[in-house]
Every structure is written in C-alpha cells, then in structure tokens.
C-alpha cells in the first residue's frame, strides 16, 4: 500500500540502530567527500566519421589503476548532433556490450555497432578538433582525452570535462562498476534538477549538498537523500552581461550514482552502465524543456477531471466511511472530483481484490454508479508485490506465466503489505501481457477510473535472501505491518550486492540492496537488478498505461511514486510521504517545480501532510498552496487524525476560497495540460521561466507561476498574516480584485496582506485568461459561461495581450485537433490610441459549439483613461448599443502603496456583461475609450 516507508524516521524504521545511525550521520553525510583523483584518464587514438553524420573514436586507458576495480582498456566514443539543438556524447566499452536503458523502453537512436571501430587507429591523432552543429559545438583534446560543449552563438562553454592539477576532480574514469567524469562550471551558473530529493535550500542546487540518484522508499521528510525517483538531468541558467541563456545536461544512465556539485564543478560517480550524455541548447528554459521532452517523451495528456480536487486517506476502513467523506464535502460546499482508496478496499492487502466485508462488491458498485452519474471518479492503489498465496488467482496466474524476478532460478521472495511477495518483472513482455490481463479482470470487478501504483522503487520490508518462516504467521496481524517477519540473511557474496564504490544510498551509504530487491537478482534476458533497479517504477508505469489504454480506449490516469527519465509520458506523480510541518509545506514547492523540469508536469504533494496531524493553521495555509498544485490531493496516514478539509470550519473556508479559484481557472490549467503534452512546458513553473533576465528570481522557491502569467504567493510561515512577495518587472493584477494593481518597473518586493483565508494570486500584463464560474465538480464547472480577463500594462497607450483555450471531451487517448472532439481558440487583444480590439481565431469549433459554450463577460484591465464610458462599441461589426442584457461599467485601478507605479497615468478596468458569444466561432469586439 502506499505509505509508511521503512526509512521514515518516526514511523518506518524497523531498526533502532538505523535510526541512531541516521541521527549521528545526518549532519556529516551532507558534506562533500575529499577529492581523490583516480588514474590519468584516456587518450584518443583514432577518430573517423560515421555514415549517420556523427563520428566515432577510440579511447585507450593511459595507466591502469585498481581503485574500484580494473579499468576498461579500450572505449568507444560516439558523438552526433542529433537535432539542431541536441548533441549526444556516448562512451562505452569498445569490445563488450554494456548495460544501457532498454531502447524499446525509451525509444531513441542507437549508436553504431562496436565492431566498426576495433583495430582502426591513426599514428598521428588529431590534438584539438571541433565538430560543429547548428547551435552547439563539440571540441576535444586527445591526450588526456577531454571534451567540451560550447554554445555556437556566443562561444560560451557549457560543459568541459578536462582536468587541471588545481581542479578538485580528475580525468575520465571508466571501470566495470565505477565511472567518473566531471565538468567545470562558472561560479554564477544557477543549476536545477538532479532529483528526486527534498532540497532544504530551495530549488537551486546548493554547493556541497549531496545528490544521490537511486530509487529508494524512504520518506520525503529525509533531506538531501535519494528518494523515489531518479532524474539525472540538470538545467543550467546563466546571465552574462544581461543576456540570459539556459541549457540542460542529461546523463541517460539508470545505475546508482552520486553527483557532487561544488559550485565551480560537478562530478558524476556512477556504479555501472555507460556515459550517454545529451546536451540541450535552449536557450530559454521553455526551449530546454521542449527539447528534453522531445527526446524522453512528451507528458501524458491528463483527463479534465484529474485537475479537480482529490481526497484520499489510508484508513477508510469501510465503504460507509468513503460515502460519508463524499457527502461531507458536498455539505461543506467544498469542490471534490475524485475519491481514492489506499489499500483498505483490498482483501488482505492483495492487489486486484476486494474486502468482502468492508467493501462488498454490490454496495461498492452501487456507490460508484451514483458518483459516476454526477461526474465523480474513483481511484485505488495497487502495489507491485504480489502476495505468495496458493489460493490467490493473481499469484497463481503469475507463476504459470513465469512473470517474476528471479534469484538463483526461483522467484525472488520479499515482504510488503500482504506478507511474502514476488515482484513482477516488467522488462519481460509476458509480464506486461499478464499485468494487462489482471487489470482487465479487476476493472470488470470494479470499474475504477485510474490506478495508483505505489511502493515501486521497489520497496521491500526485508533485505537479502529470505524464506517464509515455519511455525509462525507472517505477518502476525498485530503490530506494524512494515516489520520484516521473513527469515532472511544478508547477501554479500557478489560484487553486485557489495559494489566497490558505495553510493550515498538513503543518505547514509546503506547497501544498495537494503530494503529493496537484491541487486544480484535477475530480470528478463539476464538483466541484473543492479542495473535495472531505478527503472522499475518506470517500467511498471509503461505496462500500466498500456493496460488501461487498451481497456476502453480512453485516456488513462496513473499516479506513480517511483519515476525515471520519461515517466511523465505515462504517469502523474505525487511527492511521497511528507510531514505535516511548515518546513514540508515549503519544500513541496521546490519538488513540484523540479518535476516540471523533469517532464512530469502533473505533480503535487500530500496536502496538509501525510503524517503526523497538521495544525489547523497549517492546514489552512497548505490548501492555499495545494489548490494550485497541478495535481491537488489531500492524503493522510492511517495513524493520523482525520484531516479532510471540512474537519475544521476555518480550513473549510480557506478550501472554498482557494479551490474556488482553482475551479474557475480549470480551463487555463487544462490548456496548460495541452501545451505540456505538445511542448513539455511545465504547468507549475519557477518565475525564471517567464523572467529569465531577472536574476533576482533565479533562486526564488516560495512563489511560483501557473503557466506564464498567473503567480501564486502563499504564506509559508506560522502566525503570519502578510507575505513578502517578489514582483518581476511589469504590471500585476490581483486575481481577487482586478482593480488592485502592482506596477513593478525594475522588480520589487511587496508586502501583501494575507489573512488566514486569503491566498494572493496575481495575473501578469499582456495576458488573456479564460475562466469559468467554478462549481463543486469539474463536470459542472466546465459547462458554465466563460469570462475573458484581458490585462494590458497599466495606463499604457499601446499594448497587446494573448491567450489560448483548449477544449475536448477528455476521453480520447490523445489531445489533438482534427477529430471533431476538440476545439482550440487563440485570443488576441490590442489597445492603440484609445481603441480597444478583442478577437478570437477558432480551430475546429464544432466541439465547443456542440457543448453550447459561450463567453458571457469581458474584463479588460489597465486601460488608459479617466473613467469615461466606452463608446462606438461593436461586436462582429455591428453596434452593441441598445442590445438587451449587455452592460458596460468602468472602475479606476488602485495601486499598492509599495508599488513602483508612481507617475503612471490613471487607468481603468472595463467590464462588458451579458454577452452570449459562442466560444466555437470567431468574434471581433472593439470600442473607443473615453477621455484619455
């Protein structure tokens, strides 16, 4: 089931000694180790062009060293500009195939076969050479071999692996179980990424903090530790002479690794695989994510309802409790779209089963029929561990199909919630087919609307080689379910279980097989768990997505805890077991923003914290942040008091306010979902995505943007009723009252009032934001009339604004135009010499017309003028004057006292109500302002 991980300090450690070790080692483990230079690197002994436009070279080790094992004597170097803005540098053993991320799991170009390069060398190798593409230049020196990647436009060095004596790192190292390479960095580079981890210093990478990548079930409350996902990619944002540019570096390697960032250098230490680097030229942050997701896979299209609010808890003991939760949300008038079950619905914690007493199928089906009729959805959890049970059909069919990971020829035995389990091997095509069939069978039993795949790092309550104990029940049925009760012994006999280099696993250098599958266990085709460990959750996401999409042909919704490069193509993510603390609330923002960079834009944290119980004040403030997570879900632990949003009157009020905003902006969030699917653009973004020239926001981790222009500035500290928020240059309008204006000429911090039930949301200039009237469920909210909010720079005599709207029936597997099930609208507006013009260009209008969707209201802010009434008002060339129900009003803007708006001409907000403009048809509306 979800949650309590064996490494959660206050709850999940099964070992007192490990708790003690954490306490003692916590501080010391965060410091960077002493630099040790290993060997003298390699020399380039040959280079030649390839038929695909790249080149290959041979690298020969200069002097062998035995530290961490023998060096691989001969390496193949392959370099290619794969696109105008993507460069690949691939280094592997020249004589022997090594483990790489399977090409069928993450489709990409294959490097040339090894045999092409063996035995070819030049007596006079090229000492310095360059290989130029459209945006990037690859250069190298031969002895010792080092390479650099430069930006063609300005010559800026983005990556440089060469080492000097004064550097804290050495030359390239390539051994069977230890790979090392480094790059020099400028001091003022701002780096982001290298996750998943909880970063106490904010979104920017912090020098000498540890960054270990190895999928691990330890709770998100563990700082600077390897958590549930592995994303070996970073974005580098620089501002040189006022010119910002961003690029990204991906090391496509699934083996465990430590990455040491020292501020002026970055060093990878990897325990297997190959060096497979991809460099993405940018130069804007949005360009970087576009280029990155074009390689790893575009984010999955999410159904409209998934942007509604979700409620979950581990501990909904029976169906009547779930029914009460749904009813109480309705009574409290708090929006709710999706109700979830953790493993309470299962029979003995077993996947794809129902508890016949607490969740009897006839009553559950009747409940689902009721909520489905009003548009609500139901999602349940499944874990990868399949209970070893002779009467359990899922297990028996799995055995018959030989789908489990093996150890010494037998299915590897572990323990999770059902007790003894075997783990499906999702690298095996037979397993994928079996998994799909089990999901089909379960869907016939219970028509769920999505699946939550958890514990897929993979988590194991035991370590080593285990067997089921004789003469005792395991688990006993009393006490914590996460205590290992199998008979186990450590496995240290192979170099896979005890590698020569110890990554900082779990933040304390535990063995790589600790509380997971033994790393010497074997997958399909002889693949070692040692190599495939960090892609387990990813491979399960791929199999689950295939199963759900094949089930009904509808768009799947999958929530996965463990993620890897490319997971966003298949699943959403939540940030795992957090704590109900102010610190965890703050950390959630950085983790959310990181996952947008990783190509997993549908992300959020457990609102109000997973455990222990939050204070009432904290839960108020958390929903004011969580209402703006792309994935917005309240989730709590079995052992915590109830924390549904209606449990406190004050929290219910904050929820109505914050979720009230969310349900109004659902069309905007859904359009951002469409943009994410097409270009990878994150839904929630750091401010520097929209303001890359404004260096003040490079490290900002307490505010965030939805899309390019809606800024959330929440209260993140106890007892505060004000928030100091940064406003990048331009005009910002309060979403709660669009007449309230902040003009920031050069960027300014403003102290905003933030009473308990208020969250500050501001809309940037030059935007057209389509909103609806909201409601208690997205199905109803999405049918209400639209308002277009148009924002011009305050008082500007000339200005323009743009916006977009994507609509579809959200059942189709793909988000695309041309199928009659979707509509795309581009909105534009200009103001010039007192004339205002607003118009739309519609593509595929049929869907919006069939839904009878209309624009009822236009709100235009920032218009220069003294409050005179608009005149000469026309809609599609026809005068509006005298048309019944259409009303115009103007209201002057109020400037915040800390705003830099002094001297700005007076400006007004104009509202046009009573319209009935079909969303599915082009329109043009224009008028002249009053006295300027």
Containing H/E element for 363? Answer: helix 361-374
CA distance 697 to 681: 19
Query: Between β-strands 179-184 and 173-174, what pairing exists: parallel, antiparallel or unpaired?
Result: antiparallel
Q: Which of 100, 347, 454, 497 is labelled catalytic?
A: 454
CA angle 756, 762, 763 (to 5 degrees): 155
Could you please report the per-residue DSSP string of 657-690? HHHHHHHHSHHHHHHHHHHHHHH---SEE-GGGT
CA distance 360 to 192: 48
**Alpha helices (runs of H) in 682-784, residue ranges in sequence order:** 778-781
Query: Terminus-to-terminus CA distance in the chain, angstroms?
Result: 64
CA distance 895 to 286: 32
Structure tokens at 127: 């000492």
**Strand ordering across the sheet containing 603-604:** 603-604, 572-574, 558-560, 450-453, 377-382, 338-341, 309-311, 632-634, 606-607
CA distance 335 to 322: 16
Q: Is 457 one of the annotated active-site residues of the chain?
A: yes
Phi-psi sector, 178: left (phi>0), alpha (psi -120 to 50), beta: beta
Containing H/E element for 130? Answer: strand 128-132
The separation between CA 598 and the C-alpha centre of its own chain, rounded to angstroms, equals: 6
Structure tokens at 595: 């996952």
Specify the residue for token string 């001969």.
74
CA distance 730 to 694: 12
Q: Is the omega angle on the peptide bond into residue 191 within 30 degrees of 0, that is, cis?
A: no
CA distance 447 to 369: 9
Beta strands in 662-797 (DSSP E): 684-685, 704-706, 710-713, 722-727, 730-734, 740-744, 748-753, 760-764, 767-771, 786-796
Are the CB atoms for 650 and 757 separated by under 8 Å?
yes
Q: Which of 351, 577, 634, 844 is labelled catalytic?
A: 577
Distances (CA, A) of 507 to 23, 27, 385, 491, 527: 11, 10, 25, 21, 26
Q: Is 454 one of the annotated active-site residues of the chain?
A: yes
Phi-psi sector, 119: left (phi>0), alpha (psi -120 to 50), beta: left
Picking from 235, 212, 353, 341, the residue whose alpha carbon sits closest to that of residue 287 is 235
Q: Which of 457, 497, 529, 634 is labelled catalytic?
A: 457
3-state class of 413 per DSSP? coil
Are the CB atoms for 40 and 144 separated by under 8 Å?
yes
Are the CB atoms for 604 and 596 separated by under 8 Å?
no
Specify the residue for token string 């959330």.
712
Specify the residue for token string 């994928």.
432
Structure tokens at 202: 């904010």
Handedness of CA 204, 209, 214, 219 (dihedral sign): negative
3-state class of 272 per DSSP? coil
Question: Which residues fall within 8 angstroms of residue 118, CB to CB, at 6 or more apart?
Answer: 94, 95
The separation between CA 131 and the C-alpha centre of its own chain, rounded to angstroms, equals: 34
Are the CB atoms for 279 and 149 separated by under 8 Å?
yes
By annotation, the residues acting in catalysis are: 454, 457, 577
């Amino acid at each position: 089931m979800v949650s309590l991980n064996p490494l959660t300090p206050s709850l999940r450690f099964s070992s007192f000694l490990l708790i003690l070790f954490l306490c003692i080692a916590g501080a010391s483990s965060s410091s960077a180790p002493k630099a040790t230079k290993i060997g003298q690197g390699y020399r380039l002994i040959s280079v030649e062009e390839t038929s695909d436009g790249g080149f290959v070279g041979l690298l020969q080790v200069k002097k062998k060293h035995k530290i961490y094992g023998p060096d691989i004597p001969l390496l193949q170097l392959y370099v290619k500009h794969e696109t105008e803005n993507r460069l690949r540098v691939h280094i592997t053993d020249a004589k022997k195939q090594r483990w790489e991320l399977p090409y069928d799991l993450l489709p990409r170009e294959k490097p040339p076969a090894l045999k092409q390069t063996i035995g070819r060398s030049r007596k006079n190798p090229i000492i310095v050479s360059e290989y130029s593409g459209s945006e990037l230049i690859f250069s190298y020196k031969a002895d010792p071999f080092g390479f650099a990647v430069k930006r063609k436009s300005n010559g800026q060095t983005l990556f440089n692996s060469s080492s000097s004596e004064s550097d804290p790192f050495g030359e390239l190292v390539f051994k069977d179980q230890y790979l090392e390479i480094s790059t020099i960095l400028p001091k003022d580079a701002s780096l982001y990424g290298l996750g998943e981890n909880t970063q106490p210093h904010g979104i920017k990478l912090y020098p000498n903090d540890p960054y270990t990548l190895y999928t691990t079930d330890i709770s998100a409350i563990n700082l600077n530790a390897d958590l549930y996902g592995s994303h070996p990619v970073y974005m580098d944002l620089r501002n040189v002479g006022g010119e910002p540019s961003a690029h990204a570096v991906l090391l496509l390697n699934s083996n465990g690794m430590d990455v040491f960032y020292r501020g002026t250098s970055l060093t990878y230490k990897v325990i297997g695989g190959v060096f497979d680097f991809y460099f993405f030229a940018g130069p804007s942050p949005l360009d970087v994510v576009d280029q990155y997701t074009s390689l790893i896979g575009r984010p999955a299209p999410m159904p409209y309802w998934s942007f509604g609010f979700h409620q979950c808890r581990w501990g909904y003991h029976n169906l009547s409790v779930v029914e009460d939760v749904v009813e109480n949300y309705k009574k409290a008038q708090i929006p709710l779209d999706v109700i979830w079950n953790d493993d309470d619905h299962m029979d003995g914690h077993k996947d794809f089963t129902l508890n016949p007493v607490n969740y009897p199928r006839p009553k559950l089906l009747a409940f689902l029929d009721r909520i489905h009729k009003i548009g609500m959805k139901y999602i349940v959890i499944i874990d990868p561990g399949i209970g070893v049970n002779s009467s359990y059909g899922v297990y028996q069919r799995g055995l018959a199909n030989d789908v489990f990971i093996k150890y010494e020829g037998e299915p590897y035995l572990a323990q999770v919630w059902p007790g003894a389990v075997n783990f499906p091997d999702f690298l095996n095509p037979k397993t994928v087919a079996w998994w799909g069939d089990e999901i089909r069978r379960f869907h016939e039993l219970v028509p769920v609307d999505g699946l939550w795949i958890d514990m897929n790092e993979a988590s194991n309550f035991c370590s080593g080689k285990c067997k089921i104990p004789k003469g005792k029940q395991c688990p006993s049925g009393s006490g914590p379910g996460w205590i290992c009760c199998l008979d186990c012994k450590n496995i240290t006999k192979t170099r896979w279980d005890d590698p020569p280099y110890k990554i900082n696993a779990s933040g304390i250098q535990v063995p790589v097989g600790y509380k997971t599958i033994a790393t010497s266990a074997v997958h399909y085709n002889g693949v070692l768990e040692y190599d495939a460990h960090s892609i387990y959750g990813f491979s399960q996401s791929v199999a689950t997505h295939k199963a759900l999409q094949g089930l009904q042909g509808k768009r799947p919704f999958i929530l996965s805890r463990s993620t890897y490069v490319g997971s966003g193509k298949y699943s959403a993510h939540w940030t795992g077991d957090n704590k109900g603390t102010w610190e965890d609330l703050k950390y959630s923002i950085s983790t959310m923003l990181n996952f947008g960079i990783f190509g997993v834009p549908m992300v959020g944290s457990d609102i109000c914290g997973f455990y222990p119980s939050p204070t009432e004040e904290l839960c108020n403030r958390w929903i004011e942040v969580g209402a703006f997570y792309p994935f917005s879900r309240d989730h709590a632990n079995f052992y915590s008091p109830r924390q549904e949003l209606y449990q406190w009157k004050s929290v219910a009020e904050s929820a109505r306010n914050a979720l009230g905003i969310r349900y109004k902006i659902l069309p905007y969030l859904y359009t951002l979902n469409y943009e994410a699917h097409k270009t990878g653009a994150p839904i929630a973004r750091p401010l520097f995505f929209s303001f890359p020239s404004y260096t003040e926001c490079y490290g900002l981790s307490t505010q965030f943007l939805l899309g390019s222009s809606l800024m959330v500035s929440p209260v993140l500290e106890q007892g505060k009723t004000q928030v100091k928020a940064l406003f990048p240059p331009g005009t910002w309008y309060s979403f709660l009252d669009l007449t309230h204006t902040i003009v920031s000429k050069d960027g300014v911090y403003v102290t905003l009032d933030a009473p308990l039930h208020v969250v500050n949301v501001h809309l940037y200039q030059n935007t057209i934001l389509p909103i609806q009237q909201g409601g208690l469920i997205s199905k109803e909210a999405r049918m209400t009339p639209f308002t277009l909010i148009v924002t011009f720079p305050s008082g500007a005599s000339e200005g323009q604004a743009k916006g977009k709207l994507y609509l579809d029936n959200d059942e189709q597997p793909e988000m695309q135009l041309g199928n009659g099930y979707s509509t795309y609208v581009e909105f534009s507006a200009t103001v010039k010499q007192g004339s205002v013009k607003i118009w739309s260009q519609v593509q595929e209008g049929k869907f919006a017309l069939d839904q009878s969707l209309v624009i009822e209201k236009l709100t235009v802010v920032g218009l220069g003028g003294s409050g005179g009434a608009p005149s000469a008002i026309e809609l599609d060339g026809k005068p509006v004057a005298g048309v019944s129900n259409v009303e115009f009003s103007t209201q002057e803007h109020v400037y915040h006292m800390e705003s830099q708006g002094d001297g700005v001409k007076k400006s007004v907000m104009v509202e046009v109500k009573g319209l009935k403009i079909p969303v599915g048809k082009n329109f043009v509306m224009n008028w002249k302002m009053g006295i300027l």
